[in-house]
């Protein structure tokens, strides 16, 4: 094991220059014009998996972007890890706010800046390098490993569930390992035991067949932008509670023990607010900030479009108004049930003066696990050795749709060990990854495989 760790320390610079190549591929899954780049990225991922010594590496075609699969199964009797990550990234707009180009990775003050640095190429690469260190230095891994890297996570993992269901035997494992989340804070490594789910929609309203002169027709027809504002205003009350009937029915209350555990975490509300640049925080008064983002569901408007938004003034009644909205869900809410409740509520509150269309975009189930198992303990020991500190246990407000699918279809526990930081701008301009966390993460991952082997 010492020589494996030595190998990792000696190769530090090479890891960064290789990661730069990975980050140079604009694998934006949300934009059709990047379909070719996404495929190129899948091929690059597969090539890299072959280089580090994985076997049977191939692209699994789906109706969407390919899934990259590879394995190393030469440790008979040892446990099998299913490692999951994603090679697709979020769009980069607004581009002018980036201090260096999003696909030309740049190192500044010990952090590597690029789209995908933290979410998730950097964290996937960390495990690739840990696997490589074992295979190149020891000629073997202490565990069996199956690797699944998908290209549609950022658009809801539309095709991955079918792949998992169709390949249950091939994907069978003892534990799922994922690095696609953040540490609680700088210097506070963590293990995540719950993710929120998601239900995403587009609302389209049409008032008339064309835009109208607001003087000639104003007063006689509905304004879809006003109607949309009204509809959206019916979704939440002043206290931040969602008004969709039945919305909270399946919300599992937070236990006193869990709330007490979160109060011991090193969280500073004033600093949190200041770092966000918010004049005042919002949300449900009966819940702390961590409870609001980890344990409570939300309703958000993600985008709005209607009418004249250029310079100057134009007297017009827009024909159309559009909103993208989504809800974060917590255990045990189900995205399909929430979709029905939401659509019924929108239909009820929208007046007859407009034509209404609600489109379901994508969804994902929330996930929660009992973290009292030997794999989580193994991860705790590995993180402590890699980061010099035992991890704290936390939930996350983000979503990784496949995690609950793995749990339900494969029936195995998942260990979420993320090394991003909450302020590393995932999905925003100037995304970055701290290189010491990246490096410690490679060491911790290499040790994690060793520690998981001991559970067998
Ligand atoms: N890696 C994130 C999810 C995440 C972020 C987990 C922070 C824990 C902490 C993932 O890539 C992501 O962004 N997921 C989407 C899922 C959606 C498109 C279905 C999300 O959460 O918005
Ligand atoms: Mn991610
Ligand atoms: Mn993401």
* DSSP-derived secondary structure for 406-428: IIIII---EEE---B-TTS-TTS
- CB distance 196 to 364 below 8 Å: no
The pLDDT assigned to 50 comes to 98
99 as an active site residue: the answer is no
> Look-up: residue for tokens 């996350």?
396
**Closest ligand 1 atom to Cα of 157:** 19
Q: How many whole angstroms from 216 Cα to the centroid of ligand 1?
A: 47
How far apart CA 403 and CA 405 sit, in angstroms, is 5
- CB distance 70 to 55 below 8 Å: yes
Q: How many whole angstroms from 433 Cα to the centroid of ligand 3?
A: 14
How far apart CA 251 and CA 391 sit, in angstroms, is 27
Nearest Cα to Cα of residue 430 among 36, 7, 93: 93
153 as an active site residue: the answer is yes
Mutate to test the pocket of ligand 1, among 29, 399, 425 (most ligand atoms within 8 A of CB): 399
How far apart CA 399 and CA 368 sit, in angstroms, is 11
To the question of pTM greater than 0.85 for the whole model, the response is yes
Nearest ligand (C-alpha, residue 85): 2
How far apart CA 32 and CA 21 sit, in angstroms, is 22
Cβ < 6 A, ligand 1 pocket: 119-120, 153-154, 156, 180-182, 195, 198, 362, 364, 396, 398-401
- Cβ count near 447 (within 10 Å): 23
How far apart CA 114 and CA 103 sit, in angstroms, is 6
Q: How many whole angstroms from 238 Cα to the centroid of ligand 3?
A: 30
Q: How many whole angstroms from 30 Cα to the centroid of ligand 1?
A: 14
- Angle ∠(375,377,382) on CA atoms, nearest 5: 95
Q: What pairs with residue 199 in β-bridges?
A: 327, 363
| Residues with Cβ within 8 Å of residue 55, at least 6 apart in sequence | 70, 71, 72, 73
- CB distance 55 to 115 below 8 Å: no
Torsion angle (degrees, nearest 10) of CA 378, 382, 384, 390:
-30
The pLDDT assigned to 421 comes to 97
SS3 content of the chain, % helix, strand, coil (to 5): 35, 25, 40
pLDDT in tens, the chain (456 residues): 779 999 999 999 999 999 999 999 999 999 999 999 999 999 999 999 999 999 999 999 999 999 999 999 999 999 999 999 999 999 999 999 999 999 999 999 999 999 999 999 999 999 999 999 999 999 999 999 999 999 999 999 999 999 999 999 999 999 999 999 999 999 999 999 999 999 999 999 999 999 999 999 999 999 999 999 999 999 999 999 999 999 999 999 999 999 999 999 999 999 999 999 999 999 999 999 999 999 999 999 999 999 999 999 999 999 999 999 999 999 999 999 999 999 999 999 999 999 999 999 989 999 999 989 999 999 999 999 999 999 999 999 999 999 999 999 999 999 999 999 999 999 999 999 999 999 999 999 999 999 999 998
The pLDDT assigned to 45 comes to 99
The active-site residue, picked from 37, 48, 71, 88, is 88
**Closest ligand 1 atom to Cα of 192:** 8
Mutate to test the pocket of ligand 1, among 90, 91, 154 (most ligand atoms within 8 A of CB): 154
- CB distance 209 to 229 below 8 Å: no
In this structure, the strands spanning 106-108 and 414-416 are: unpaired
What string of DSSP letters covers 329-344? E-TT--HHHHHHHHHH
Q: How many whole angstroms from 417 Cα to the centroid of ligand 1?
A: 14
3-class DSSP state of 435: helix
- CB distance 130 to 8 below 8 Å: yes
Nearest CA, atom 4, ligand 1: 398
The pLDDT assigned to 2 comes to 78
**Closest ligand 1 atom to Cα of 198:** 19
DSSP 8-state class, residue 19: H
């Amino acid at each position: 094991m010492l020589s494996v760790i030595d190998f990792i320390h000696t190769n530090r610079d090479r890891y960064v220059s290789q990661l730069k190549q990975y980050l140079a591929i604009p694998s934006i899954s949300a934009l059709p014009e990047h379909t070719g780049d996404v495929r190129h990225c899948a091929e690059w991922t597969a090539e890299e998996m072959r280089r580090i010594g994985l076997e049977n590496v191939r692209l699994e075609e789906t109706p969407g972007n390919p899934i990259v699969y590879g394995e190393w199964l030469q440790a008979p009797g040892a446990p099998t890890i299913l490692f999951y990550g994603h090679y697709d990234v979020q769009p980069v707009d607004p581009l002018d706010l980036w201090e260096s180009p999003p696909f030309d990775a740049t190192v500044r003050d010990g952090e590597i800046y690029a789209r995908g640095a933290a979410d998730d190429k950097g964290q996937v690469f960390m495990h690739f390098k840990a696997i490589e260190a074992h295979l190149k230095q020891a000629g073997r891994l202490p565990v069996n490993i199956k690797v699944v890297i998908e290209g549609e996570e950022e658009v809801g993992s539309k095709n991955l569930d079918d792949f998992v269901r169709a390949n249950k035997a091939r994907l069978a494992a003892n534990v799922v390992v994922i690095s696609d989340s953040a540490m609680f804070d700088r210097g506070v490594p963590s293990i995540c035991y719950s993710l929120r789910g998601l239900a995403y929609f587009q609302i389209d309203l049409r008032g008339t067949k064309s835009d109208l002169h607001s003087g000639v027709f104003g007063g006689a027809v509905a304004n879809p932008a006003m109607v949309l504002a009204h509809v959206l205003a019916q979704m939440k009350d002043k206290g931040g509670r969602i008004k969709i009937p039945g919305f909270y029915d399946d919300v599992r209350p937070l236990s006193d023990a869990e709330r007490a555990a979160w109060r011991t975490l090193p969280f500073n509300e004033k600093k949190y607010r200041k770092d966000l640049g918010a004049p005042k925080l919002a949300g449900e008064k009966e819940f702390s900030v961590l409870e609001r983002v980890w344990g409570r569901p939300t309703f958000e408007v993600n985008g709005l479009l209607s009418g004249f938004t250029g310079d100057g003034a134009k007297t017009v009644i827009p024909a159309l108004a559009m909103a993208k909205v989504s809800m974060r869900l917590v255990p045990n809410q189900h995205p399909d049930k929430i979709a029905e409740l939401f659509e019924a509520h929108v239909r009820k509150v929208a007046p007859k003066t407009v034509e209404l269309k609600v489109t379901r975009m994508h969804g994902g189930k929330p996930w929660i696990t009992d973290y009292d198992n030997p794999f989580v303990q193994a991860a705790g020991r590995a993180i402590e050795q890699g980061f010099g500190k035992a991890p704290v246990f936390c939930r996350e407000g983000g979503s990784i749709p496949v995690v609950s699918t793995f749990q339900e279809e494969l029936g195995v526990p998942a260990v979420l060990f993320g090394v991003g930081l909450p302020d590393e701008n995932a999905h925003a301009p100037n995304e970055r990854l701290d290189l010491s966390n990246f490096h410690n993460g490679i060491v911790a991952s290499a040790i994690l495989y060793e520690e998981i082997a001991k559970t067998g």
